[in-house]
Structure 1
Amino acid sequence: MRIGELSRKTGVPVPTIKYYVREGLLPPGELTSPNQAIYREGHERRLQLIRALLDVGGMKVAEVANVLRALDGPALPLHEVLGAAVDRLGATGREHGGTESAAAHAVVADLVSRRGWRTPESNPAAADLSKALAAMARVGHGAFVEVLSDYADAAELVARADLAYVNRRAGVDDMLESVVIGTVLGEAVFNALRRLAQVNVSAELDDTEDPPKRAPR
């Protein structure tokens, strides 16, 4: 298909498609003349993936480029490539020092050890978790660590569901793409489900608890 048809099928403007090609996110089309190129089904699928990561996953163009480089990288054992792809999806930002950060690192290390997770301390997700816990402590919610094991239980269930979905895919390329989709877009799905569940649980609690008494005026 020509670039105009690719634009119509995906809803992505032609100048944006050309920008993605220049930035290395989308492979160039097959030249049929100096000014004409043919784009194939793989281009359409990659373009849809790019838009999903940007629009739903909330990633930046540079972050998407890093993820796609992991997908397109040299042949490695599947587990290593999956790890490389997921590592590129973590949060970024400067880590604050101080007692909160040190305490958060200790909590995360203890959690990983107690659960027997085969996760190296250098894993970016461990750093992201430490940052989040330290930030919560700084705003007066350090007690959140008391429910961290419950969150870890839920995370294991979600991780098993993620990998079960990935293992349904036949080819390595499909598996890698599924990990990215499951991590980025799956996070959006899970967060939406979580909000729905919170509304439901809140309503259930309202049904079973006495309404709070107002102080007399």
Structure 2
Amino acid sequence: MRLAELSARSGVSTATIKYYLREGLLHPGRLITATQAEYDEEHLRRLRLVRALIQVGRIPVNSAREVLAALQDEDLDRNRRLGTAVWALPHGPAPDETHPATEAARRGADALLDRLGWSCGRSPGEPVTAPAYGMLVPAIAALSRLGYPCAVDDLEPYARAMERIAVTDLDLVDRYETPDEQVEAAVALTVLYEPVLLSLRRLAEAEESGRRFGAR
């Protein structure tokens, strides 16, 4: 397909596609003349991923480039490619190591992971280095500082619910045929489904609140 068709099918303007090509977010098409190139379904799939990362996920171009580089690393298996790509996504500020609540929160996070049996890619005795863990610790610290429940018993039901969601996530990914498509879809769905999960949680809370506290 030519550039105009790629634009029409993807919903991305030709100017934006050219920008993605210049930035290395989209690999060049096959030259058919000195000034024209031809694109295929792989370009369309990658363009949808780039759009999910940048236009929907609001991920900076440099971070998006890191994610895409990880996806293209054929020396890694699917699990490591996905982990490396998700690692490159923005994850918020690091824990404040100067605050006394941080160390207690880290102990709580470690105890939760031990109860769940989640290795988080580490060997026994090694610290957790995953960026998502770095998000969890300050979140627990904030709960603790403000006097809200954040013990392991309080957090475990949420983690168990996340286990079920993770199964659903990867069931969606398994619908794609090739390993490359599966890894790309996993990253795109990580970005695109997070607002869906937040919205559904708030809707579910509203329903439960109505059942518990609404007018009889």
Same fold (TM > 0.5): yes
What is the Cα deviation at residue 20 of structure 1?
A: 0.7
Q: Partners in 1 of 2:58 and 2:143 — Cα distance?
A: 22
The 5-angstrom pairing of residues 37-48 of structure 1 reads 37-48=37-48
What is the Cα deviation at residue 172 of structure 1?
A: 0.8
| 2:155 equivalent to 1:169 | no
Tell me the TM-score normalised to structure 1 length. 0.85
Q: Per the alignment, in what secondary structure is the counterpart of residue 32 of structure 2?
A: strand
Aligned to 2:53: 53
Aligned to 1:114: 115
Q: Partners in 2 of 1:136 and 1:55 — Cα distance?
A: 32
The range that moved more, 189-198 or 93-102, is 93-102
Q: Partners in 2 of 1:2 and 1:178 — Cα distance?
A: 24
In the alignment, is the contact (CA less than 8 A) between 2:93 and 2:135 conserved in 1? Answer: no
What is the Cα deviation at residue 13 of structure 1?
A: 1.9
What is the Cα deviation at residue 76 of structure 1?
A: 1.9
Tell me: CA distance 1:151–1:80, structure 2 relative to 1, closer, same or farther (3 Å). Answer: same
Tell me: CA distance 1:141–1:28, structure 2 relative to 1, closer, same or farther (3 Å). Answer: farther
Residues 31-63 of structure 1: per-residue CA shift (max 9 Å, x gap): 122221112222122112211222333322222
Q: Partners in 2 of 1:169 and 1:65 — Cα distance?
A: 23
In the alignment, is the contact (CA less than 8 A) between 2:95 and 2:137 conserved in 1? Answer: no
Residues 108-163 of structure 1: per-residue CA shift (max 9 Å, x gap): 1111111111223122221121122224444x154344621121111111112122
What is the Cα deviation at residue 174 of structure 1?
A: 1.8
What is the Cα deviation at residue 208 of structure 1?
A: 6.7
Task: Pick from 138, 151, 155 the counterpart of residue 162 of structure 2.
Answer: 155
The range that moved more, 151-160 or 169-178, is 169-178
Residue 188 of structure 2 aligns to which amino acid in structure 1? I
In the alignment, is the contact (CA less than 8 A) between 1:90 and 1:125 conserved in 2? Answer: no
In the alignment, is the contact (CA less than 8 A) between 2:94 and 2:138 conserved in 1? Answer: no
Tell me: CA distance 1:199–1:69, structure 2 relative to 1, closer, same or farther (3 Å). Answer: same
Tell me: CA distance 1:176–1:104, structure 2 relative to 1, closer, same or farther (3 Å). Answer: same
Unaligned runs of 5+ in 2: 123-127
| 2:138 equivalent to 1:131 | yes
In the alignment, is the contact (CA less than 8 A) between 2:70 and 2:81 conserved in 1? Answer: yes
The range that moved more, 20-29 or 86-95, is 86-95
Paired residues, number: 208
Larger radius of gyration: 1
C-alpha RMSD of the superposition: 2.1
Residue 37 of structure 2 aligns to which amino acid in structure 1? A
Q: Partners in 2 of 1:95 and 1:205 — Cα distance?
A: 36
Percent identity between matched residues is 39
| 2:109 equivalent to 1:102 | no
Residue 99 of structure 1 aligns to which amino acid in structure 2? P
In the alignment, is the contact (CA less than 8 A) between 1:56 and 1:188 conserved in 2? Answer: no
Q: Partners in 1 of 2:139 and 2:62 — Cα distance?
A: 23
Task: Pick from 205, 208, 214 the counterpart of residue 201 of structure 1.
Answer: 208
